[in-house]
Amino acid sequence: MTSLTDLELLARLVAFDTTSATRRPTRSLGDFVCGYLDHPCIRAERFDCGDGQENLWFETGPEATGDGAGLLLCGHVDVVPAMEPEWTGDPFTLRIEGDRAIGRGACDMKAFDAIAINLLRAAAETGGLEAPLAVLLTCNEEIGTIGAGHFAAQWGGRPIPHRTIVGEPTSERAVQGHKGHLSLSIEVGGRGCHTGFPDRGVNAIERTIPVLEALRGLRASMVEERAESSDLFEDTPFPVLTVAAIDAGSAINVMPDRCALRVGARLLPGQSATAFLPRLAAAIEAAGVSVEVLEGLEHPIPAGETPLAEDACLITATNDTPSYAIDPSDPFLAEVRAISSDVDGRGVNFGTDAGRLVPLGCRSVIWGPGDIAVAHRPDEWISIEEMTRYRGRLGVLVR
């Protein structure tokens, strides 16, 4: 396949609707990228994640030997929905307006993907690498870094480069780490009945009120917490607890028999999701509500069809995006900072794939082009000038 510029390749990638929230498959994009990187010096693997989703791995140069040498460039290919009426054009057709390349995923993070793919292709064509250069493109990052979690299990104990760039949009700041995000479902039971006979039922919404009060109290206490990693997060140096959604009731004349809360906990690096669950349960029980915690951190979101006892309060962890922080004395961090736009990138409040790659030995710096403030919004865009500048800087790490 003919070589494309980074901008041309970005346009091709944006054209694939890879919205993970609606389970849009990534396989067609994978077919295209595999064709584009079809080269005798590139080793490619595709890892099935179900429902047409897959992780993509490409590697050139010497094969990894287990010493961690080389460089891994990690991006995700899925995007958030583009349903907002404020879009001024087709979200999946890249538009150029001055210095801006506009389209869903242009900033988060298909621009980085395009740059990484082209760097790998150029390295394969030129040859002479001293160490492996790899590109990992994950699926389902936007719905809980699920693809990277699958990849860590799929890859197993095979050798892999440890120096890792996770190219999320950081405005080219070399970021040390990020908070985790523990997604939770809290279901509170009741007993349904006709509202004309309230003594025959138990209102699940009313039973949820002390649960909400407990969550509010826990959130307030968490604001006062500090950890060793707090200095990474200047604006919010504490873990954050959010009640993000409430679902209850079927009709105005029916006593609700179930009330479900969707809750998110953004934990600091060093804080364990496993340890947070008992703390959450204890806070609710202190409000007089008996609690059951479903063991484990990766369960499907409850469908609301399973019978729930009228005195139940069930906590289910539906996803855990682990927090992450690289050792501040790591020489790789210094290496990236030497070529980045900011020598003190600290941390970001959003999650990335970096935490999922820790079991493989990856030491990640989160560093990519684009401003996160314009991601996940109508007319998402990235600066073409910044893409060019970042491509040159990233190339310095390839050797």
| φ, ψ dihedrals at 283, nearest 5° | -65, -40
Q: How far apart are CA 100 and CA 384, in angstroms?
A: 6
Q: Long-range contacts of range 372-377, CB-CB < 8 Å, 24 or more positions apart?
A: 372/107, 372/108, 372/168, 372/169, 372/170, 372/171, 372/348, 374/107, 375/107, 375/108, 375/169, 376/80, 376/108, 377/84
Amino acid in position 66: G
Query: What letter would DSSP give residue 191?
Result: B
Q: How far apart are CA 295 and CA 277, in angstroms?
A: 9
Is 78 catalytic? The answer is: yes
Find the largest Cα–Cα distance for the chain.
80
Amino acid in position 181: H
Determine which one of 78, 168, 353, 386 is catalytic: 78
188, exposed or middle or buried, with CB in 10 Å at 0-12, 13-18, 19+? buried
3-class SS at 255? coil
Determine which one of 17, 108, 141, 379 is catalytic: 141
**329 CB neighbour count, 10 Å cutoff:** 7
386: nearest Cα among 37, 114, 193: 114
- Angle made by CA atoms 98, 345, 397, in degrees to the nearest 5: 75
Catalytic positions, written as ranges: 78, 141
